[in-house]
Chains A and B, each alone.
Chain A
Amino acid sequence: DGGITQSPKYLFRKEGQNVTLSCEQNLNHDAMYWYRQDPGQGLRLIYYSQIVNDFQKGDIAEGYSVSREKKESFPLTVTSAQKNPTAFYLCASSIRMTGSYGYTFGSGTRLTVV
């Protein structure tokens, strides 16, 4: 079955440490996205990529980095520059078109700073 796989489901980070969240899709979607969700809040866009080897900053990109070397993969690195990284991170993908095409989401990674 096609879908998006995020790993790990839970991740713990020490102060000053970089961590990478994995996002893999087998839907042949062109576009991929990373969102952050804090308790009681909506989703905020971190980075997005419309095609391989290209990505743009979203609304809250500071302290994060991404790469898009393969169509299937869009890993997110949370760097030590991100001062408040504890949150729920959701990866999504979509066909790169307008219309009724929404997102397919992964099941999320919950990151906690210890």
Chain B
Amino acid sequence: AQKITQTQPGMFVQEKEAVTLDCTYDTSDPSYGLFWYKQPSSGEMIFLIYQGSYDQQNATEGRYSLNFQKARKSANLVISASQLGDSAMYFCAMRDSTNYGGATNKLIFGTGTLLAVQP
């Protein structure tokens, strides 16, 4: 069965420093997609970054980058130059590749990491 594991329930980082949020995944399918979402205290889910299993380069979006290590099945999120507004819950997710006669595009989520940025 496909699974996402986030082993860091909470993390602290000083403002302006970089931080890495860990994510490991388990799947037997060669084709999959990995996502990171940010959830502020208000509750909405904000898409940050995407990595496809066949992508040759690690994904980057502004201050966000994804350290994709396929052999280790890890997809860690790196936030550079942390800001106070980065304080939030962060979720790693994987697209369910099970095919029921058509792509389902279901996302499987990890349990999240609560990031606190300190001034």
Q: How far, in angstroms, from A98 to B99 measured CA to CA in the complex?
A: 11
Partner of A42, one of B44, B105, B110: B110
**Is the pair B43, A108 in contact by a Cβ cutoff of 8 Å?**
yes
How far apart are the CA atoms of A99 and B97 in the complex, in Å?
Answer: 11
Q: Is B71 an interface residue (CB 8 A)?
A: no
B70 contacts partner chain A, Cβ-Cβ < 8 Å: no
Q: How extensive is the interface on chain A, given as a class? A: 20 to 34
Given A40-B111, A43-B91, A107-B44, does the pair A98, B33 have CB atoms closer than 8 Å? yes
Query: Which of B33, B52, B95, B111 is within 8 Å of A41, CB to CB?
Result: B111
- At the interface, yes or no: A100 with Cβ under 8 Å from chain B? yes
Determine whether the beta carbon of A105 is less than 8 Å from that of B44.
Answer: yes
For residue A90, CB closer than 8 A to chain B, the reply is yes
A95 to B103 alpha-carbon distance, docked (Å): 10
Complex CA–CA separation, A32 to B21 (angstroms): 28
Measured between alpha carbons, how far is A110 from B95 in the docked complex, in Å? 26
Tell me if A102 counts as interface (CB < 8 A to partner B). yes
Per the bound structure, the CA–CA distance linking A110 and B44 in Å amounts to 12
In the complex, residue of chain B having the shortest beta-carbon distance to the beta carbon of A4: B44
Q: Would A97 and B42 count as touching, CB distance under 8 A?
A: no
Q: Name A105's contact: one of B45, B103, B104 (CB within 8 Å).
A: B45
Q: Which residues of A contact B (CB under 8 A)?
A: 31, 33, 35, 40-45, 48, 50, 56, 58, 88, 90, 92, 94-108, 110
Q: Which residues of B contact A (CB under 8 A)?
A: 4, 9, 31, 33, 35, 37, 42-45, 47, 50, 52, 91, 95, 97, 100, 102-112
Known: A100-B50, A106-B44. 6 other contacts (CB 8 A): A33-B107, A42-B112, A43-B109, A96-B105, A98-B31, A102-B35
